[in-house]
Copies of this chain bind each other. A is one copy, B any other.
Amino acid sequence: MLGEFALIDAIVAGLGDRAAGDWITLGPGDDAAVIATRSGLSQVASIDTLLPDVHFPAAAPPQLIGYRSLMVSFSDLAAMGAIPRYCLVSLSIDESQTALGSAWVEALAQGMAEAARELGVYVCGGNLTRGPLNIAVSVHGDVEPQRLLLRSGGSPGLNLYVTGPLGAAAACVRTGQMIPAEPEDLTPLQSAYYRPRARFDLLSLLTSAAGGLDISDGLTQDLEHLCRASGCGAALNSVAIPVASGAQLDDALFGGDDYELLLVSDKPLAGAHCIGSLTAELGLRLDGEPLHARGFDHFRNGNSTR
């Protein structure tokens, strides 16, 4: 079966001249699209779909599903250096969600509202259909064009930084702790999975970064995305990688769902962890040895729940 990225290439090929042009500053390929406006500010927009038993357990409490769905979708805007403004939610649900009337959707919306309140954004529109459970979230913000953070901003010699400990959400999945006993009483690993933080608190730090993206697919896979967009390779130093408490190095390298930012810069980034540097030689290396990137591919990974 074709992988996710080959299928995306076919879609972009099918779109032809409609993928970007005119007022579209940046089309498919980064964390979000960038649209020029006559005010001088750029709009930044992204869309994600979350599916049961892929992006969250179907049996999870709906308020946690709602919180997580909104927060991970907005993470793509944090990874562009944008200020978040609003989102739209298109929801497909079936009898499993409506068996008890409206309680499930109302709790889902409450979880979304909680995340929206923390981010200072609104859920100002949506759509509801009956079908297999599917949560599509489009997120929207704006940015001064000169503050945009792109995947293509890397170049050999720049240092690589991550903005916080990695692997906790992956460790939650790996150790089978994904159904909390009480939605209000999460273990630290469950909290990492269900209540990630989109890193909008770092906007001032980002002015010192040359490029970056969020680590939603796993450190090595997202690093590979950055390297491909920047035309370079990378060398990682394993002891420098901040592994979350309760997680292992493999969770941090290959797990994903971290929503910390991966940044490149030639300046020190206060508070971030320097984990290596970009290289002219293509490919990834860990402690000098070739490293095969692995992460999440919707069309190749089996039923891993993330």
Check if A292 is an interface residue, CB within 8 A of chain B: no
Is the beta-carbon distance between A102 and B6 smaller than 8 angstroms? yes
Cα of A128 to Cα of B126 in the assembled complex, Å: 20
Is the beta-carbon distance between A126 and B88 smaller than 8 angstroms? no
Check if A288 is an interface residue, CB within 8 A of chain B: no
Interface residues on chain A, size class: 35 or more
Say which residue of B2, B48, B113, B125 sits within 8 Å of A28 (CB atoms).
Answer: B125
With A33-B124, A45-B125 in contact, is A113–B7 under 8 Å at CB? Answer: no
Main secondary structure of the interface of A (DSSP, over half): mixed
Chain B residues positioned under 8 Å from A128 (CB to CB): 4, 7-8, 11, 298
With A33-B124, A47-B126, A298-B130 in contact, is A107–B39 under 8 Å at CB? Answer: no
Say which residue of B20, B39, B41 sits within 8 Å of A124 (CB atoms).
Answer: B20
Smallest beta-carbon distance A238→chain B, Å: 31
Check if A231 is an interface residue, CB within 8 A of chain B: no
User: Which of A132-140, A190-198, A249-257, A260-268 lines the interface with chain B?
Assistant: A132-140
Is the beta-carbon distance between B124 and A35 smaller than 8 angstroms? yes
